[in-house]
Amino acid sequence: MKIKKIQPLGAEITDVDLSYDLSESDRQLIKEAFLDNLVLIFKDQNLKPKNLFLAASLWGPPQKHPVFQGLDEHPEIIKIENYGEQYHTNAHWHSDVTFEEEPPDATILYAIDVPSEGGNTLFSNQYLAYEFLETSLKKKLNNQKAINTNRSVVLLAGADPALEKTVKHPVFRTHPETGKRALFVTQAFVERIEGLSDNESQEILTKLYAQASDKKFRYEHKWHNGDMVVWDNRCVQHFAVHDHGDKTRTLHRITVSGSKPY
Ligand SMILES: [Fe+2]
């Protein structure tokens, strides 16, 4: 197994076949590389849903999406297909499923049929977004919470509006394994910062979103069929660029369970 680091986040991993059982030392290496690099890109995989399910289990117990329907044989796996001009909530900076009390620790995408051009995914390092945030904002928002909502997802899925809900999460999250702090507000799911006026909340969120997606903190992934990418939802935001028109883009997506952010 070879690990090649990418700056400012990410590592490409080659010479490993995730459809086979991994040795304990490889598992350990992968877990360490995940915490160090935040996004891992496994090249040249050939993963049927059951293999993807097992590979994902390295990061925790796979879980079903609260709104979107999964595959019949593996309900934790969602088939992502996007094309044309339809609205898609993934074309906003976000961390996955932050409208739940316990958002997933990690998300895994596996590329089945991706366009030769376009449909890239951007990733942004939220440890750096926090670290380089202006000190006055760090102080002001130190123990503040943001109100996250699932409204955009309920709308997109055409689900029952009665499923709409909000949850509060800290603006700055502490990673439970590394102890580092990360910016944890996302343009897709946050509606306001608790305890601030509408105007102030909006003004600050605009600054935080710009910080979260700053080009200095980003890696842009160009997909190839057979790529399996896993990222740490606790300290990474992502954005699916929708610039491939009617070309097919098919991936499988699976998340693993997480814990309550603090
Ligand atoms: Fe996402």
Q: What share of the chain is helix, strand, coil (3-state, %, to 5)?
A: 25, 30, 45
Q: Could you tell me the CA-to-CA distances from 62 to 40, 55, 201, 259 in Å, in that order? A: 18, 10, 35, 13
Tokens (6 digits) for 102: 């316990």
87 pLDDT more than 60: no
Q: Is it true that domain 2-256 has CATH number 3.40.800.10?
A: no
Distance 231 CA to ligand 1 centre (A): 10
pLDDT grade for 233, boundaries at 50, 70 and 90 = very high
Distance 53 CA to ligand 1 centre (A): 18
Distance 84 CA to ligand 1 centre (A): 18
Q: Could you tell me the CA-to-CA distances from 108 to 42, 62, 77, 187 in Å, in that order? A: 11, 10, 10, 21
pLDDT grade for 14, boundaries at 50, 70 and 90 = very high
**Are the beta carbons of 55 and 106 closer than 8 angstroms?**
no
Q: What CA–CA distance (Å, rounded) separates 15 from 18? A: 10
Distance 69 CA to ligand 1 centre (A): 15
**Are the beta carbons of 196 and 137 closer than 8 angstroms?**
no
**Per-residue pLDDT tens for 173-198?**
999 999 999 999 999 999 999 999 99
pTM of the predicted model as reported, rounded to 2 decimal places: 0.95
124 contacts: CB under 8 Å, gap ≥ 6: 9, 93, 212, 213, 214, 217, 218, 219, 236, 237, 238, 239
Distance 152 CA to ligand 1 centre (A): 12
Specify the DSSP class assigned to residue 175.
Answer: P
Average pLDDT over residues 147-171: 93
Q: Is the peptide bond before 8 cis (omega within 30 degrees of 0)?
A: yes
Distance 70 CA to ligand 1 centre (A): 15
**Res 21: pLDDT:** 85
68 pLDDT more than 90: no
Reduced to 3 states (helix: H, G, I; strand: E, B; else coil), residue 198 is helix
pLDDT grade for 59, boundaries at 50, 70 and 90 = very high
34 pLDDT more than 80: yes
Q: What CA–CA distance (Å, rounded) separates 17 from 153? A: 34
Name the CA radius of gyration of the chain, rounded. Answer: 18
259 pLDDT more than 60: yes
**Res 91: pLDDT:** 75
**Res 89: pLDDT:** 58
144 pLDDT more than 60: yes
**Per-residue pLDDT tens for 106-142?**
999 999 999 999 999 999 999 999 999 999 999 999 9
**What percent of the chain lies above the pLDDT cut of 70?**
97
Question: Which residue carries 């997802």 as its tokens?
Answer: 153
**Res 159: pLDDT:** 87
Could you give the count of Cα atoms lying within 13 Å of 261 in the half-sphere of its Cβ?
32
Distance 255 CA to ligand 1 centre (A): 10
Largest CA distance in the chain: 54
Distance 238 CA to ligand 1 centre (A): 6
Q: Distance of alpha carbon 2 from its chain centroid, rounded? A: 24
**Per-residue pLDDT tens for 43-58?**
999 999 999 999 999 9
Distance 136 CA to ligand 1 centre (A): 30
**Are the beta carbons of 181 and 172 closer than 8 angstroms?**
yes
**Are the beta carbons of 177 and 262 closer than 8 angstroms?**
no
